[in-house]
Each structure stands twice: as structure tokens, then as C-alpha cells.
A and B are shown apart, each in its own frame.
Chain A
């Protein structure tokens, strides 16, 4: 069911991207997800070349082996990936919108040539090190630093909650220097650089999450991203990734909704399908409304992005509203499925747990509220 038929407003090309990702995910990914989630694994190395062959990695970037699609096409792809699992979408977001986008926006020609084609093909995986163990919402206060030693750089510090960290071939690491915050490309295997996985997660279990430790990591001068200085560097990438999330959340919510609709039609209690009870219909109707609104929000922001006029406040609006909507839909769906809703036989609890991470990563709900609050009042509440 899709009352508003938002997808009728997609172009042929965007629909083709949608159908391609949907088909690929249904065939290659969906059958394994519950197992990966239960086992707490994500076969990043095996999947990356397949995702690369489709053109999903850095799909909205131009040149260097990237497909150069519209922002809306990228959003639709994120939606279909996250309809499978937020971990899958996270992998693609981090590779394309964080690691590749950082190199694409701020890298030298040599850096782009060295990394982007291989990353687009899924032969090389990237991660993005901004958040630190004690610095989440306030990255400007980061402790990781880089000091000059001759022409080399020497990095020290730690980064936390880094998606793809231990499977990455290259880490984009943000560090404080005497000259402001700068980005560095740290290849895996550089002496002093280690990545270890974070276990015992109950969310995004089908996703690799790591801690990066930099202990006197020596890098040549050309490891630094030359074209950006200051916090606007990493924040520019985060805005890209948040854009993918505001679409992705619609997919996660839709998956839960579809499971609930199917269940409500077939599960009988008191001699009739539970979908025939008014309380169930009310839940489903609200879910339809929430997802229709979220879908419209995503498409609207996507069109603004393609026009080149989208603002960070609009992206904050979308991330805030759509993740909230998806969590509400997931929780409602869970109540319709009853006890079945807590098992991995259905996608609902998996999405629900994943969305708890999506709610706080790439800018917590609180930070996005304050971003909007500042836009509304002109008053800055977090400085």
C-alpha cells in the first residue's frame, strides 16, 4: 500500500535505480540478514565488489569510476538498502558519502586517482574517523592531533564507533593540528594504526563497528587532504551521509509496515483477521500516514539537493523527522505482530533495534533539534 504514490514522481532513471537495488537486495542480501544480525557479522569484503559492480558505492559522485547519479537516485538506493537493514545502508553510506566524498571533495588529484576508482569498484573499503570515545556531539573538541615532524605528520589519538573500521583499507581521520582540524588518509597497516571491533552491540549487529587507535602514526605530507581546513570538512561529509539516512529511514519503516500489514491480514484472533479490528486499522493508518509524509519529505529534500539549494537545516529536519517516524512505525508494527514481532523471523525488531543507533548517529536527535531551534529563534543553544 502506498496511498500517496510518491514514487510516481520519480524519473524513469530513478525508478530503474530503485528496481535494481530492490531486486539485488531481495536476491542477494535479504535471505542472509537475520543470520548476519544474529551472528553479529557483516561480510563487507565479499559484498563490496558486488555493490561496486552495481555502481552503488559513491554513486552520486562524478568521475573517478563513480556513476554520477542524481541525489534523488542515491536517496532511493539508500531507502531500498535500508529496507533490508540499516547496517547495509550504513556500509554504503560510510563508503560513499563519508570516505569517498571526503576524498572527492577535499582530496588532491593523486589521492582521488589512488583511491576513488578502487573504492567505487568495492576493491578498497573506506572508513571515516571523526567521533572519539569522549567526543560525540562536540567533535570540535577532538583530542586526536597531528603534529609536523619535518615534512611528515605524526598522529596520536583514538576514534570510536567507526563503521567499517576494521575492514577498511583506508581511514579518513580527522585530527587537530596547529593550523586547525585537518583530514588525513591513513592506509590500513600503517605502523601504530590499529582497528579493533566493538562487540556486544544489540543494534546494527549486521555492521562492522570499530575503535581506531593512532599511536605515533607517521604519515607523509601528501597524506593530508589539502582542500579543507576546520570542522566544516567533516561536517560537510556528515551532511551528505545524513541525507542518505533521511531516505534510508523510510525504507526501514516501510519494511516494518509491510510486515505488519501482511501479519494483520493473515493472523486470526477471535475468529477474524486482526486487521479487521479497528484498533489494528488505526495503527496501520497512522503508519501509512507517517511513511507517506516521510517519503514526501525525503523526495522534497532530494529535489532541493539536486537543485543545489538544500541547506543543513533542511537535512536536519529530514533526518530528525524521518528517523522519528521510522522508529514509531517500527514500534507500532511490533505491537501488531505480538510475540512474533520480537523474533528474527520478521524484520521488525531488527529494524527497531537498528533505528535506535540511527536515531543518534550522524547527529543525535538532540543536536538536530537544536540546529532547527537555532534556525527558528536565531539563538544558539549549544555554545
Chain B
């Protein structure tokens, strides 16, 4: 089983995040980079599939040089090797372009399953799985909270507003996961030591067969035209209980349509 897990490095949600004033792209230098949280669940699921069915887990990351930290962690958790797509020409790419670049990189790795988190904590577009499956011409299983492989069939439970759907597809397929799917492992120290020796292939645009005219900020299909800081959280409303606290709570909940 050739399992490719897409790992994005994002700014740590614990630290202040901001866009750059000159080109409205993410200021990656301003915050520590960490693995996008949902991608950790994707890594864990990839490792579980490998443990149950054999094969190899390849980490595929598109991002600047400092994303190697995140690649290292994924390898320490147990992935076998990594491909790092890194090129200045990719900076500022939007989701459409990213899906193209990853499609090209996947052409080199091949895959039976591409697995990724259902969205990233920075851009939060949540569209990569869909775009990628369209480009690759393979089924997409999104928002999975349970995945089973049975021969060349993949069965999954996808989270919906009303509960879940049970869906099935034939491999190869693209699967995006939600945080209910598993509990990501910590990298063990033996894993950390072993990760140093695992192969990381670095690809530029040319290596991956990516047309420079189709990626990067200048060629993006979408543009950030303006941005503003989120408004500061307003002071909560304090209600004093004068024997009518229960009624006031019920009134509040009703006004917000919770009851």
C-alpha cells in the first residue's frame, strides 16, 4: 500500500498570527511553524493503515525551507520517507494552484491513498481534498471519522450535520480526516533518532514538472483584497441572580435560538 500523507506547516495557533502588509500573504516568519493539527490525525491514520495492511507512508509537504521541522516530526512519528516541495515560485499560491502543484508531485510518488486533514488552521479553505481528487480523477472521501481498507475497497464514515454517512470507494482515493478519527501518537525518542536517517527528497518546480506560470502569488486565481484584525472579544454580560436567574438564562438561550 502506497500511502501518501499531505502535511502542511502552519503558524502555531498558540502564537499571534498575521498577514504581511505588502502582499497580504501569511507572515510565516512571525510565528513558530507546527504541523497543521488535522494533518497529525492524517499521519496517525496513515500509520495505522500501514500497520494493518503493510506498505509505506510518504509525507508530502509543500512549503518553505523551515517546513522541514514538520517533516521531521512526521517521520519521527513513523512515516517512512518524505518529499518536500519547496520553491520560491510557489509562494503565495492559492488552493487551486496548490492542488495543481501537489498533483504534479504525486505524479512522482504515485499513491494508493492520499490522506490529509480536512482543513488547515491558517487558510481554512477546506477545499484541497476535493480539488485534488478532481485533478487526479479519483474518488474523494472527505471529513472521515472512520476508515477501513478491504482489499481495493475503502469504506469510511463521513461526518455530516445530521450524523454520518457510510461511503465506499475503490482505491486509489483521496481521504480527508477529522479529529474524531483517532488519537495521534507522540513521536517516540527512538522514532526521533531514526527520523534523521530517513530519506527526504527535495523537489523544486522543475523537478516536479510544475509550470511556473501556473503557481505563485502573481498567477493566483484568488486575491486577498483587504484584511483586518478580528475585533477584540467584548466583555461578557453579567446577570445578577435576584431569584429570577433561571428565567434569565432561559430567556438568553431562547434569544440565541439554543432552546
Contact = CB atoms under 8 A, between A and B. Distances in A.
Interface of A: 12-13, 15-17, 19-20, 23-24, 53-56, 59, 67-69, 73
Nearest to B72: A12
Greatest chain A CB density within 10 A among B68, B190, B191, B196 is at: B190
Contacts of B211: none
A12 B200 CA distance: 14
Nearest to A13: B192
A59 B189 contact: yes
A209 B116 CA distance: 47
Contact of A55 (B69, B72, B190, B195): B190
Interface residues of B, number: 15
B72 A16 contact: yes
Given A12-B68, A12-B69, A16-B72, A67 B188 contact: yes
Contacts of A16: 69, 72-73, 76, 187, 192, 195
Given A13-B196, A20-B192, 8 more contacts: A12-B69, A16-B69, A16-B76, A20-B189, A55-B188, A67-B188, A69-B189, A73-B192
A17 B189 contact: yes
Greatest chain B CB density within 10 A among A15, A23, A54, A69 is at: A54
Contacts of B190: 55, 67
A374 B192 CA distance: 41
B39 to A, nearest CB: 15
A12 B193 CA distance: 11
Interface in B149-189: 186-189
Q: Which 7 A-B pairs have the closest CB atoms?
A: A55-B189, A67-B189, A55-B188, A67-B190, A59-B189, A20-B186, A12-B72
Nearest to A56: B189
Nearest to A14: B192
13 contacts: A12-B68, A12-B69, A13-B196, A16-B69, A16-B73, A19-B73, A24-B186, A55-B190, A55-B191, A55-B192, A67-B189, A67-B190, A69-B192
Nearest to A70: B193
Interface in B52-102: 68-69, 72-73, 76
Given A15-B69, A16-B73, A16-B76, A53 B193 contact: no
Nearest to B196: A13
A67 B69 contact: no
A20 B113 CA distance: 28
